[in-house]
Amino acid sequence: MISIDNKVAVVTGAGRGIGRAIAFELAQAGARVVLAARSRSELEDTARTIGSAASVIPTDVRDKDQVHALLDQTSSAIGPIDILVNAAGLGIFGRVVEFRDEDFATLIETNLRGTFYTCRFVLPSMIQRKTGDIVNIASIAGKVGSATRAVYCASKFGVVGFTESLAEEVREQGIRVSVVCPGSTNTSFSADKKGKALERMLSPEDVAAAVRMMVTQSRNAFISEIVMRPTQKP
């Protein structure tokens, strides 16, 4: 395993849930972490938990200009970005015949297009330095479809396919692009909790530990995908 002491990591969706846990885990491993999400108050709460290793830059990943500003400000104020974790995401569920156009746009723009923007803007510097780690958080819903989740699954299938393809584009330049697909996780996605035993679900910290393993792997190898499930079905 390699050290990430003083490496610069940007984590989207860092205000709560999986993103918050990942930010804390990377900071514990020695990284300087930039926290990005729409809610400044949630980011500041995460930063207080982490301490001086954390910086806050409120960002809506659906907005191309805000994403560009996030990465520019990070590079200028802290240094070149070594690790990018795309954990920003949301879930809106419902039958296709009843699904609203605005909810479709929100899901795709947040879960998929936001990931595209961050990757596209961070890559030139990584390519120039011939090093970098990108980890995209997808879902089991990016591997298996299910009723009332067609649009959500489409967005997460998209993240998986995008990640696999991007990994092939940049692996020869020393950049590792990986995806984590968690199963039922005890976060604010209330629809995932209905009728389930919360103590059997994955915790955000379980996912964070997987991300830490990915970015501390020896540089001559990379873990391209992790699919995580609870040991017992919730």
Q: What is the pLDDT of residues 14-41, one digit of tens each?
A: 999 999 999 999 999 999 999 999 999 9
Q: What is the pLDDT of residue 193?
A: 58
Mean pLDDT value across residues 197-226:
94
User: Is it the case that residue 191 has pLDDT exceeding 90?
Assistant: no
Q: What is the pLDDT of residue 197?
A: 79
Please give the helix or strand (H or E) that residue 134 lies within, else none: strand 132-137
User: Is it the case that residue 203 has pLDDT exceeding 80?
Assistant: yes
Q: Which of 24, 116, 117, 152 is catalytic?
A: 152
Mean pLDDT value across residues 91-96:
95
User: Is it the case that residue 105 has pLDDT exceeding 80?
Assistant: yes
Mean pLDDT value across residues 44-52:
97
Which percentage of the chain shows pLDDT scores above 70? 97
Q: Are 53 and 75 in contact (CB under 8 A)?
A: no
User: Is it the case that residue 196 has pLDDT exceeding 90?
Assistant: no
Report the alpha-carbon distance of residue 165 to residue 175 in Å, rounded. Answer: 13
Which percentage of the chain shows pLDDT scores above 90? 90
Instruction: Give the CATH class of 8-228.
Output: alpha beta
Mean pLDDT value across residues 204-214:
97
Establish whether 117 is a catalytic residue: no
Mean pLDDT value across residues 227-231:
93
Which of the pair, 227 or 189, is modelled with greater confidence? 227
- Band (pLDDT 50/70/90 cuts) for residue 192 is low
pLDDT digits (tens, 9 = 90+) for 115-133: 999 999 999 999 999 999 9
The model's pTM = 0.95
Determine the 3-state secondary structure of 17 from DSSP. helix
Report the alpha-carbon distance of residue 21 to residue 9 in Å, rounded. Answer: 13
Q: Write the CB contacts of 118 (distance below 8 Å, at least 6 apart in sequence).
A: 10, 12, 61, 67, 70, 71, 84, 86
Question: Please, what is the average pLDDT of the chain?
Answer: 95
Residue boundaries of the structural domains of the chain: 8-228
- Band (pLDDT 50/70/90 cuts) for residue 198 is confident
User: Is it the case that residue 1 has pLDDT exceeding 70?
Assistant: yes
